[in-house]
Amino acid sequence: MNALRPVITLLNQHTVTDIVTQAWEILENTGVQIEHGETFHVLADSGLPVIKNQRVGFPRHRCEPFLATVPATFFLFERDLETRIPIGGDAVHYDPGSAAVYWLDPGADDHRRATAADCMLLAQLTEKLDGYHIQSTGVVPSDVLEDFADCLRLIYPLVFCRKPVITGTFRKSSFKIMHRMLSVIAGSPELLRTHPLAVFDCCPSPPLKWSDLTGAALMDCARAGIPVEMVSMPLAGATAPVTLIGSVIQHTAESLSGAVIHQIAAPGAPIIWGGSPAAFDMRHGTTPMGAMETMMIDLAYSQVGKYLGFPTHAYMACSDAKLPDYQAGLESGIGAVLAALAGINIVSGPGFLNYENTHSPEKIIQDHDACALAYRLIQGMTVHADPDVPALLHRLADTGDFLSDPSTRKLHRRELSPAGKAVFRGSMDQWRNQGRPLSRDLAHAVLQALAEQDSPRLDPGRTQALVEILLQEADNLHIAKAIREILQATCIHV
């Protein structure tokens, strides 16, 4: 029996309801700009008022019935369509952050543009790290036409990793291609609908706007039954009110409007209350993910999302540091722990440096350790009937020999977690004898060891089907030759 699942909540109930009330007030009076023509018309046809031009009002009394169909929990599936991961309640799952454009090679001290080969390495690495229950299309390959990068980067997680994947589109026409690719893995579009293998990120543009691309993505995903992760990203003081609560209110308004669009398109389709807000850095004009205020906004909006009955997501466990150093550990570790305490269902961010711009395989290893600590924390303390503690102490009070007691041997693995692989807990002499390794050195060694392990691949038949889909589209863009070469170079035989 657990004594308590530790939790953190930032807001009292009155504040939560007040945030929601103010968000609806904004939605009714100011409305949201809807760029995507079909979405705009669907909303208007559903009785929502057009305030002006493309700005649609979302009156609470008309919209809340649409939200009644939001599923509080759903399952993501691994590619065997049997292993399932619950998304909802207080379940916590970490995944390496999504869509970095830079890559920090192990041992390197500068970042470079990410490539398709890095997509492959990331998928293989995530496959081998059990603490990451979900993977992501973590980098944007620079060695391919921008318009094709979203489709190309999806093949790597599908081929090299069994876990469900967080991804998204860079252009409207990519959805059909990516849906076809996912359907190949599931076996059919119908099986994909009942066994979702991927989550698509859809980001409203702050303040209060769904762009042509993201409006289309919301509709497409809803209709196909592919879960959507709404990633509202207010920047406190820049694209949102400077007050933290003000940013949460804006986040709530943007997310409520997205959920209404989504549920009108397909009632009951799975949707996640996510985000990537930041406390705008007033000196550097950057979006610090490691700022405490950023994490406070994350915790607060996820609390609002839970109150409204949504599964939740956040970009946490990531850092603004440029190398996997003290700052990286500090920011990522705090983020990982807070996200777990808040019971955020999908936590994207491990591996990220440089805001959300750079992935580091060494940091993916280090953050895996941080996530393990966070998992341990929310596991909480277990009350054991055996051993009876007064009796144990009565028996061992004279010798103090707890180490050899059967109760220790029986329970130590459950009670005391071992050190992470990028954490050094040995003695000073051991540290000296091992060449004085820093955490980054340890992570580097883990990477080398993992590289020696085989990584299970998708079967040749489905791999070939994915390749054909990609090449067909590449042919339309007149880049088939380049894509063939990239696939060959990344161990996907054409």
Binding residues for another protein (CB under 8 A): 99-101, 110-111, 113, 140, 142, 146, 170, 205, 209, 211, 235, 237-239, 280, 282-287, 355-357
- Provide the residue count of the chain: 494
Consecutive H or E run containing 85 = strand 84-87
Alpha-carbon distance values, 255 to 171, 210, 328 (Å) = 21, 10, 29
Residues 6+ apart with CB under 8 A from 463: 159, 457, 492
Q: Least separation, in Å, of the C-beta of 63 and another protein?
A: 25
* Residue number, 231 or 337, with CB nearest to another protein: 231
What six digits make up the tokens of 370? 């941080």
Q: Least separation, in Å, of the C-beta of 131 and another protein?
A: 26
In contact, 438 and 143? CB cutoff 8 Å: no
Burial annotation 363-381 (CB, 10 A radius, 16+ → b, else e): bbbbbbbbbbbbbeebeee
* Residue number, 193 or 209, with CB nearest to another protein: 209
How many Cβ atoms sit within 10 Å of the Cβ of residue 304? 24
**Cα 347 off chain centre by:** 4
* Residue number, 22 or 211, with CB nearest to another protein: 211
* Residue number, 15 or 142, with CB nearest to another protein: 142
How many Cβ atoms sit within 10 Å of the Cβ of residue 355? 20
* Residue number, 250 or 357, with CB nearest to another protein: 357
Q: Least separation, in Å, of the C-beta of 173 and another protein?
A: 14
Listing DSSP states for 174-196 in one string gives HHHHHHHHHHHHHSSHHHHHHS-
Q: Least separation, in Å, of the C-beta of 235 and another protein?
A: 8
* Residue number, 285 or 400, with CB nearest to another protein: 285
Burial class of residue 394 in the structure, from the number of CB atoms within 10 Å of its CB (0-12 exposed, 13-18 middle, 19+ buried): exposed
Q: Least separation, in Å, of the C-beta of 26 and another protein?
A: 19
Q: Least separation, in Å, of the C-beta of 283 and another protein?
A: 6
How many Cβ atoms sit within 10 Å of the Cβ of residue 88? 19
* Residue number, 31 or 138, with CB nearest to another protein: 138
Closest CA to 368 of 102, 130, 187: 130
Burial class of residue 445 in the structure, from the number of CB atoms within 10 Å of its CB (0-12 exposed, 13-18 middle, 19+ buried): middle
Residues 6+ apart with CB under 8 A from 373: 333, 336, 337, 417, 420
3-state SS, 419-488, equals: CCCCCCCCCHHHHHHCCCCCHHHHHHHHHHHHHHCCCCCCCHHHHHHHHHHHHHHHHHCCCHHHHHHHHH
Q: Least separation, in Å, of the C-beta of 37 and another protein?
A: 17
* Residue number, 28 or 356, with CB nearest to another protein: 356
Q: Least separation, in Å, of the C-beta of 320 and another protein?
A: 11
Q: Least separation, in Å, of the C-beta of 278 and another protein?
A: 10
* Residue number, 91 or 101, with CB nearest to another protein: 101
Q: Least separation, in Å, of the C-beta of 379 and another protein?
A: 35
* Residue number, 211 or 408, with CB nearest to another protein: 211
Q: Least separation, in Å, of the C-beta of 282 and another protein?
A: 4
* Residue number, 75 or 170, with CB nearest to another protein: 170
3-state SS, 258-312, equals: HHHHHHHHCCCCCEEEEECCEECCCCCCCCCCCCHHHHHHHHHHHHHHHHCCCCE
